[in-house]
A and B are shown apart, each in its own frame.
Chain A
Amino acid sequence: MLRLLTLAAAALMGAFAAANAADIYASRLTAVAYDGAMRANVQGDGHVSASLDGRTLTVKGDFTGLPSAATGVRLYSGPGIGVPGGAILDLQFSGQTEGTVSGTVSLSSTQLAALKRGHVYIQINSQKAPDGNLWGWLLPDHPFPGPDVPVAGQGFLPQLDVPGNWTEK
């Protein structure tokens, strides 16, 4: 009986942890899709994290190495992970070629569903790249163990670890 209770408690804790983990999102910001002619203008790097409380999403992060000053930061939503779409909400930023990102926004039901499916991304626009300099999809937080460090199993794969992106019939 004790063993059963222990297992049940462990299962509850696991479920609680999973629920909490699912409410923390993160992304590395990398160059938007580019060709050679755009390459010089879409450099840079950044990180963001976001926590979801009900419908309220709080975002914070930083960026560096933009070739020109940032002009805006927005949330976008597309039809899939890695699929660009339209802007949905504005965020705040400070700095120019390096700086911070922040914001607290209230999501609609549609936006909330999109976030939970991994379809929402952050994009920083800049003077020389007004249609996008850096972007990154908000996905459940998945710490990177470091280069060459093996993990058991397959590691984080968005279409499998974010519900609703893959069906087996």
Chain B
Amino acid sequence: MLIGNVGFGLDSTSGEVMEMLAYVIRNLLQRLVLLFVVSVMAHAVVHIAPGEPSEVDPSNPRLKPEDVTKIRAAFHLDDPLHLQYVYWMRDLLSGELKSFKDSQPVLPKIWDRFLNSLPLFVTATVIVWTLSFPAGIHAALRRGSVYDRSTTFLAYALISIPGFFFSYLVILSVVELFGVPVIGMRTFGMEDAAPLFRAMDRLWHLVIPSIMSALVGVAILSRYVRSQMLEVIGADYVRTARAKGLEEETVVYTHALRNALLPFVTMFGLLLPGLIGGSVIFEQIFAWPGIGRLGYDAILARDFPVILTINLIAAVLTLAGTFLSDILYAAVDPRIRLQ
């Protein structure tokens, strides 16, 4: 979708604006079609796979066969698949979609959990982006040094350790040492405290979960920063800048870094789906009532509407993310033209 085209500088004529607009519209339409296919596939996978909501509790003696029939009818489970899809979409779009499990409306339920996940996601992302860049740039500038080699090894170790194993180790060592809470979002019984204390309590609860869920990201992103930086630092224009007699700092931060940063602009867009995908394990470890745990509980309860809607939201976020990254890339790199 992105075509490199040297020479189209900054002179944006009205023709280019029109082209841009056409690109955006065509792209959005394509993505809508993709979204439709994704939703059909997700629906089919969830419904065709064995395991019915009515079978969650087969040993319950109070659940008589006629109850099962009633439940199946109430959830439209006996209708053909395409009809069930239509019902799902109709209810989703009219906002009346209800959970199988507790008959609560699905969208507000997901929204609540989303608001819980958001601080965790934002803090972790901030940690990832603020730590990775200094670490990666430093490693690239001192390539082959002890620092470089040890961070390389550390990064691979962090990528390789099972997340929950590492989290448990940290919990074991940190809780007694610093008294940091590692369960839930807030201290039980703090509801009546002054707002300031409640806010501090929330922040304090955020520390360990956000660090733990950020670590793998730091490892991966800092390696990527390092390799981008190495690629740029050998380029001709960096040599020219040095040959001109510019200070090393100017060369590195003004000439090299700015060009090395280009691919990362696009990664802002690709962050979006991480809001849902990456959170299941860590929310489970730290008993964080976020969207990942909602999904996990929904899977356990065969709560199809919740599973499907979370999946759909994840797909929307992925598509929005790639769209955003395409646009951002074109915006920051004049060599790239949308087609």
Q: Do A and B come from one complex?
A: no
Binding site for A on B (CB under 8 A): none
Binding site for B on A (CB under 8 A): none
